[in-house]
Chains A and B, each alone.
Chain A
Amino acid sequence: MDRQQIGLKLAMDSLGIPVQMGTFEDRLVLQKAVYLAEAAEVALGYHFRWYLRGPYCSLLASDGFSVETSQDEADQWTLDGDSLENLRGIQSLMQKSRPADMELAPWLELLASVHFLVSRKQVAHDDIHEILSTLEKYNKRYDKPQVQRALRRLRKHGLLRVPA
């Protein structure tokens, strides 16, 4: 594993998510969790673009397969303190803030998608209606309360600015 892959493994370990690529949900969780980690200024070196299921990075997909089949070369490394703290915040956003009726994968997809649309200015105004209609354009089936919740949580965790 190179440094970037070691960073990926350590970040996922900190988030309590094993790097598994066996199912579609596994891969989706990896993509969105790392996207949110990057949004929280844990610079793992992945650049995301918008694809059918929200932010996606092809290098990350490739690294995920490498890390999954590598032996534990990350054992002798640890992340710096700031990154670990930021990841703790993301873990709380991912797990504690998750609605009871929503699985991890769709929750992460929603958080990452809303963050991408707002932070990359794909929506002119970060209001709930425009975000919702943009998500609908991409065939994402989320309702208004779910999007509201995601927006609120992203702001609470400092990933999006709170409107003045």
Chain B
Amino acid sequence: MVSFASPPKFVVDSIHGDIHLTPEEWGVVNTASFQRLRHIKQLGMGHFTYPNATHTRFAHSLGVFGIMVKVLDAVERCGFSLSAEKRENLRLAALLHDIGHYPYSHVMETIDSVLLTEEFISSGGEKRTLDTKTTRYPGHEEVGRQIVTSQQDLISAIGGAERAKAIADIFTRDEAADPQFSKLIHGSLDMDRLDYLLRDSRAAGVPYGSIDIHYLLNNVRVDPNTGVVGVSKKALPAAEQFLLARYFMHRAVYYHKTTVAMEETCRQLLRRVRDKGKYGVPQNGQKVLDRVATESLGGFTDAFVDGVMRQALVDDDENVKKLAQAFVNRRPPKLLKEVSILPERGELYHPLATFKMNCQHRLGNLCEEKRISPTLFLFWEAKPFDFEVRGPSFGTEEVKKIVAEGEGVFQEEESIKVFVDDSGEPKSIMDIDDSIMQACAGRRFLLARLYVVSEEKNLVDDLRKEVSMWDQSS
């Protein structure tokens, strides 16, 4: 048990109830670096669709911490003891796992992945040059490592640079950390997801993320030989519901057409002004890392992006101005066509591939015909959604073989482990014959959309007709 040298501190959380913190943890929460998370919305642009979805990375971080405390208790109840140091490092890693988030969470983080229409559409055989001298924005975990190991307020609160590095190793899943326990934060049955599904669905006001978290936590089991963490067989339905809840939340909330439209507008505008070196948007990945290591970390919040958007309202590029107006005045781009499919993994030819190909080859002509700048067409493709974290194109037997080889290259392919009986080794949920996940695991959810930034109803209707058959081969 954690001992408290001074009166215990706790926060009242709307999802998990009272969350108790040690004075040291309380000190971390009260650093300026951690308080920054109060100013970053958890759901990016989700509040444009669900007005109440304004909850923050700050609340989510505390929630993940709260779940970590419960899981560690459950692990100890199973007779698997952890040293006090490891236990406390895991608690701090949970608390700090999102410390590196960019403004509007994943929106700004992913501006290098934007498909700018003028680059996306076919060039008619002419080669474009891809300049790799501009380093991409690093992921938020990498940024988090930089913050934890360079911001003095955090280093002091954590208790020194060496410990700060050890904690960053856990949330970035470095080998220096205990790989099994660091997967508790990011993995399949991980605390991050357990919290955000509940918190996001509650805030949005939708039922899709409701999961039986208490039953899952009460049925945590640990393999005493390997330290592998999973759940008992009787919690299989709760584990299945958890995985399906992820899918439903992605379809209904995270990929909502209006939310995506606003996010893509923001992302494309940021990318364009970043490429032109405007409005203080960090010009490359190194500049991001440099910025978060200084005092200007405090200003790297949603308000930073809001400020960029307002400055862009008077940009000298008319199309950038239109994007800024769409964002600031909440005039989401209009959806022209959406294609969603659930193909077998590895399947290359399907309506979404046809749609994408048609966008590449026909959008250029459509722009000319209708006299619309390519900048105002936004093509967006969701990251392929896997029901379980397991690489595509691999069967159960191959995964087993790879695991037996003891290699790390495939280490992301972790799935929820289920202890079928109390004495045996855990099995992957996908290897359980009566689990619905076996049926789902062979498929991926793919989604692509084409939007246009326009308020002209007739034009939008006309464009919708033009692209209506673009998911079909001619």
Question: Footprint of B on A, CB under 8 Å?
Answer: 2-4, 6-7, 10-11, 21-22, 24, 27-28, 31, 42-45, 47, 49-53, 56, 58-59, 61-62, 65-66, 69, 71, 73, 76-80, 82-83
Q: Contacts of B423 on A, CB cut-off 8 Å?
A: none
Q: Chain B at the A interface: mostly helix, strand, loop or mixed? A: loop
Report yes or no: B348 in contact with A71, Cβ–Cβ below 8 A. yes
Q: Contacts of B132 on A, CB cut-off 8 Å?
A: 7, 11, 42-44, 79-80, 83
Report yes or no: B123 in contact with A76, Cβ–Cβ below 8 A. yes
Quick one: which of A7, A24, A27, A58 contacts B130, CB cutoff 8 A? A7
Quick one: which of B346, B357, B412 contacts A69, CB cutoff 8 A? B346
Q: Within the complex, what minimum Cβ distance (angstroms) separates A49 from chain B?
A: 5
Quick one: which of B114, B122, B405 contacts A76, CB cutoff 8 A? B122
In Å, the complex CA distance between A123 and B393 comes to 38
In Å, the complex CA distance between A44 and B133 comes to 9
Q: Is B134 an interface residue (CB 8 A)?
A: yes
Q: Within the complex, what minimum Cβ distance (angstroms) separates A60 from chain B?
A: 10
What are 15 A-B interface contacts by the 8 Å CB criterion? A2-B112, A27-B410, A28-B409, A43-B132, A43-B136, A50-B175, A52-B407, A53-B407, A56-B408, A58-B173, A65-B391, A65-B393, A69-B346, A77-B129, A79-B129
In Å, the complex CA distance between A56 and B381 comes to 26
In Å, the complex CA distance between A21 and B412 comes to 14
Q: Contacts of B139 on A, CB cut-off 8 Å?
A: 47, 59
Q: Which of B206-257 contact A (CB under 8 A)?
A: none
In Å, the complex CA distance between A4 and B173 comes to 22
In Å, the complex CA distance between A23 and B132 comes to 28
Report yes or no: B405 in contact with A21, Cβ–Cβ below 8 A. no
Q: Contacts of A69 on B, CB cut-off 8 Å?
A: 346, 348, 392-393
In Å, the complex CA distance between A56 and B411 comes to 10
Q: Is B115 an interface residue (CB 8 A)?
A: yes
In Å, the complex CA distance between A6 and B411 comes to 24
Quick one: which of B127, B406, B407, B411 contacts A78, CB cutoff 8 A? B127
Report yes or no: A24 in contact with B409, Cβ–Cβ below 8 A. yes
Report yes or no: B391 in contact with A52, Cβ–Cβ below 8 A. no
Report yes or no: B393 in contact with A78, Cβ–Cβ below 8 A. no
Count the A-B residue pairs with Cβ separation under 8 angstroms: how many?
A: 117
Q: Contacts of B142 on A, CB cut-off 8 Å?
A: 47
Q: Contacts of A10 on B, CB cut-off 8 Å?
A: 130
The 3 closest A-B pairs by CB, nearest first: A45-B136, A51-B408, A52-B408
Q: Contacts of B125 on A, CB cut-off 8 Å?
A: 76
In Å, the complex CA distance between A77 and B360 comes to 14
Q: Contacts of B156 on A, CB cut-off 8 Å?
A: none
In Å, the complex CA distance between A10 and B409 comes to 22
Q: Within the complex, what minimum Cβ distance (angstroms) separates A11 from chain B?
A: 8
Quick one: which of B127, B285, B346 contacts A77, CB cutoff 8 A? B127
Q: Contacts of B348 on A, CB cut-off 8 Å?
A: 69, 71
Chain A: CB-nearest residue to B128: A77
Using A61-B391, A66-B384 as known contacts, say yes or no to A49 and B112 having CB atoms under 8 A apart.
no
Report yes or no: A79 in contact with B130, Cβ–Cβ below 8 A. yes
Q: Contacts of A50 on B, CB cut-off 8 Å?
A: 174-176
In Å, the complex CA distance between A105 and B320 comes to 47
Quick one: which of A7, A24, A44, A82 contacts B407, CB cutoff 8 A? A24
Q: Contacts of A2 on B, CB cut-off 8 Å?
A: 112-115
In Å, the complex CA distance between A42 and B119 comes to 21
Report yes or no: B115 in contact with A24, Cβ–Cβ below 8 A. no
Report yes or no: A78 in contact with B130, Cβ–Cβ below 8 A. yes
In Å, the complex CA distance between A72 and B187 comes to 32
Chain B: CB-nearest residue to A44: B132
Q: Contacts of A59 on B, CB cut-off 8 Å?
A: 139
Q: Is B353 an interface residue (CB 8 A)?
A: yes
Q: Is B282 an interface residue (CB 8 A)?
A: no
Q: Contacts of B301 on A, CB cut-off 8 Å?
A: none
Q: Contacts of B126 on A, CB cut-off 8 Å?
A: 76
Quick one: which of B113, B285, B393, B410 contacts A3, CB cutoff 8 A? B113
Q: Contacts of A82 on B, CB cut-off 8 Å?
A: 133
Q: Within the complex, what minimum Cβ distance (angstroms) separates B466 from chain A?
A: 22
